[in-house]
């Protein structure tokens, strides 16, 4: 029988966006397969470690819903470094994780590559992209 942790990890690995879960001290607790594919850093490389300097824009530049007063539909465009050294543009959102009493127990970061700046997350297309596609 599968335990709850394996079930949660399998569910997070099935999401087509990179998922990072960080503990109270900022250490990586979970790094999804998609996150590994985007950044080149495997879960085994990061678990129990702080986010490497190449990936710090995920924590510094991501959209924080609590700062904007509402949950944003889109994340912020940021630049980070792949493990092999090349620039990776990504769109990221960061969320504080709270326990039932409201205390912060960690942080989640959700991100995906910004393959095309004209195409926005979740299938929405920028008006400029629509115009160029119809011409």
97 neighbors 104 (Cβ within 8 angstroms): yes
- Which is more confidently placed, 26 or 122? 26
- Confirm whether pTM is higher than 0.85: no
CB neighbour class for 83 (10 Å; exposed up to 12, middle 13-18, buried from 19)? middle
pLDDT confidence of residue 117: 53
pLDDT in tens, 59-106: 887 777 666 555 555 678 899 999 999 999 999 999 889 999 988 899
Q: Given a cut of 60, is residue 10 above it in pLDDT?
A: yes
Structure confidence at residue 124 as a pLDDT band (50, 70, 90): very low
- The whole-number pLDDT of residue 123 equals 44
**Residue 100 has what pLDDT?**
93
Q: Which two tokens stand for residue 104?
A: 């912060």
């Amino acid at each position: 029988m599968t335990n709850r942790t394996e079930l949660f990890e399998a569910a997070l690995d099935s999401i087509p966006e990179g998922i990072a879960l960080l503990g109270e001290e900022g250490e990586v607790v979970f790094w999804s397969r998609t996150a590994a594919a985007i950044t080149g850093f495997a879960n085994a490389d990061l678990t129990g470690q702080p986010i490497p300097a190449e990936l710090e824009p995920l924590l510094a530049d991501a959209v924080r819903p609590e700062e904007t007063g509402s949950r944003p539909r889109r994340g912020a465009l940021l630049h980070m470094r792949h493990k092999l050294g090349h620039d990776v543009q990504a769109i990221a959102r960061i969320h504080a994780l709270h326990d039932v009493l409201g205390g912060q127990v960690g942080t989640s970061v959700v991100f995906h590559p910004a393959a095309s700046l004209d195409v926005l997350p979740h299938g929405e297309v920028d008006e400029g992209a629509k115009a160029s596609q119809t011409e």
